[in-house]
Amino acid sequence: MQDSRVWRLVLGLDSETVIEKIVFDSDGVVVARVRPRRGAPTRCGRCGRRAPRYDRGEGRRRWRALDVGTLRACIEAESPRVNCAEHGPTVAAVRWARHGARHSRQFDQTVTWLARYCAKRTVAFLFRVAWETVGSIMTRAMADVDAVRDRWDNVRRIGIDEVSYQKGHKYLVVVVNHANGQLLWVGKGRTKKTLGEFFTALGEQRCARIALVSADGADWIADMVGLNCPNAELCLDPFHAVSWVTEALDKVRRRLVGEARRTKNEAMLDTLNHARWAVLKNPNRLTERQQRKLADIQHVNQQLYRAYLLKEQFRAIFAPGGEERILTLDEWLIWASRSRIPEFVDAARKIRPYRDDIASTLTHRLTNALVEGLNGRVRLLINIARGFRSVEALMALMQLHLGAYQPTLPGRPAHA
C-alpha cells in the first residue's frame, strides 16, 4: 500500500483530497499538508453548492485530527473563500471538516460519542481540548444530525414541559415522546413562538396524527396545541398536578410554624421543626426518624396531618390502576374544598378547571415517572453543561443524553 493511502485512512481523508507531504513540526505534531484534487469544484462552506473562488481568505490553516498513536495530528490546507450566490463571500467547504470547525469530522464524531458516556473531565483531558470546545463540537455534530434525521414519523403521544436554567432566569421547552420516554425536541424560551417552532418542524401531517399531549396546565401550551394539533386530547401532566398539591402542603406547614412562633408554643415548634421532609416525601422513602416525626405530627397537629393525608390521597390518584381513580379524583376535590384548610381549598379551586384534563391523563394511563425522571436528568445535565457558556451546547448535550440519536464512532457500525 502506498504511504499516502495509509495516511489518508489514518486521517480520515477521502480520495478527493491529495496529501502533498507529512511533516513532524517542532511542537511534536504530525502535520498532513493537503490540497483538493486538481479540477475539483469549489463549494460554499455553508450550503455546499458550487461557487467560484473569491480570494485566499485567511491563507493556510490547520484542523485538529484524531491523534496518531500518542501524537497530536492535524490537517493543514489553504482555506480560500468562494462567492456563493446565496451567502456571498464565504470560506470554501473542505471535505474533512464541518463549516466553521477547527477539528476534523472524525474528531468531532469521536468527541460527541464519548461525551455521551464519559465525565466531562475525561473527555476534555483525553482530547486535549477545553470543555467549552466539547460544547461547540457537540452543537455542530447534533445540528448535522437534526438536518438529516427523521425522528418523528411515528409520534402519537407527546409531553410538553419547560425547564429553567441559569438560576431560573431562562427557560427551555422540552418535548418528550411518551411511547419511549425519549426527548424529541428542545427549544429556547417558553413562549408560543418557541412551541410554534416545534410544530412547524413536525409539519402539518404529523401534527394531525398527534393524539395525546400532556402538559403543565399553562394556557400558552393549551392554545398552541389547540391551534396546531386538531386531533389531540390535552392531559394535565400528573407531575405538575401533584406539585401544586405538595406546594399547598408546604404552605400549611409554614403557616403553622409562623403561628406557633407568634404564640410561643414551644411544644408545637418542636414537633414542626424538621417536619418538612417528613410530610413532603413519599411515605416509602421516609427514614425512621421521619416516620417518628410523622407519628408525632399525627398526635400534635391534626391540621397538618390532614393536609398530609390530602397530599397522599392526591398522589394515589396517579398510582397505577384503572379508571376508577377518576372517581377518587372527584372525591378528593370535594374533600379538599371542604377541608377548611385554606391552602387546600385554594388547591382544589386551582385543580377543578383541569378535572377533565386529569381524567384524560388517568384514562390514558400516563404516569408521573417519565416527566419526573426527565426533570431530574435535565437538572443534572444543566449542571454538567455549565462550562459550555452556550445554550446551544446545553441543548446538544440534552439531545445526546435523552434523545433517540446514538452517535457512532468513525469507521464502526452502529451499536446496540
Binding segment for Zn ion (CB under 5 A), chosen from 42-50, 158-166, 227-235, 287-295, is 42-50
Residues numbered 85-104 forming contacts with Zn ion, rule: CB under 5 A: 86-87
- Interface residue with Zn ion among 30, 84, 195, 268 (CB under 5 A) is 84
> Cβ contacts of residue 338 below 8 Å, gap of 6+?
none
Of 33, 19, 22, which is closest to residue 62 (Cα–Cα)? Answer: 33
In angstroms, rounded to a whole number, what is the distance separating the alpha carbons of residues 181 and 33?
47
Cell of 268: 408545637
Binding segment for Zn ion (CB under 5 A), chosen from 30-38, 83-91, 110-118, 313-321, is 83-91
Q: Which is nearer to Zn ion, 57 or 387 (CB)?
A: 57
Q: Which is nearer to Zn ion, 22 or 91 (CB)?
A: 91
Nearest distance, CB of residue 197 and Zn ion, angstroms: 23
In angstroms, rounded to a whole number, what is the distance separating the alpha carbons of residues 174 and 14?
38
Binding segment for Zn ion (CB under 5 A), chosen from 39-47, 203-211, 289-297, 328-336, is 39-47
- Interface residue with Zn ion among 7, 18, 46, 151 (CB under 5 A) is 46
Nearest distance, CB of residue 43 and Zn ion, angstroms: 8
Class of residue 332 by CB neighbours under 10 A (exposed 0-12, middle 13-18, buried 19+):
buried
Nearest distance, CB of residue 398 and Zn ion, angstroms: 29
Asked if 44 interacts with Zn ion (CB under 5 A), we say: yes
CB 414 within 8 A of CB 406: yes
Of 411, 392, 414, 403, which is closest to residue 143 (Cα–Cα)? Answer: 392
CB 183 within 8 A of CB 399: yes
- Interface residue with Zn ion among 10, 47, 280, 391 (CB under 5 A) is 47
Q: Which is nearer to Zn ion, 84 or 172 (CB)?
A: 84
Q: Residue number with the shortest CB distance to Zn ion?
A: 44
Where do we find the cell 394539533?
Answer: 229
H helix runs in 159-275, sequence order:
192-202, 204-209, 219-228, 238-262, 266-272
Nearest distance, CB of residue 359 and Zn ion, angstroms: 53
Q: Which is nearer to Zn ion, 36 or 187 (CB)?
A: 36
Where along the sequence are the contacts to Zn ion (CB under 5 A)?
A: 44, 46-47, 84, 86-87
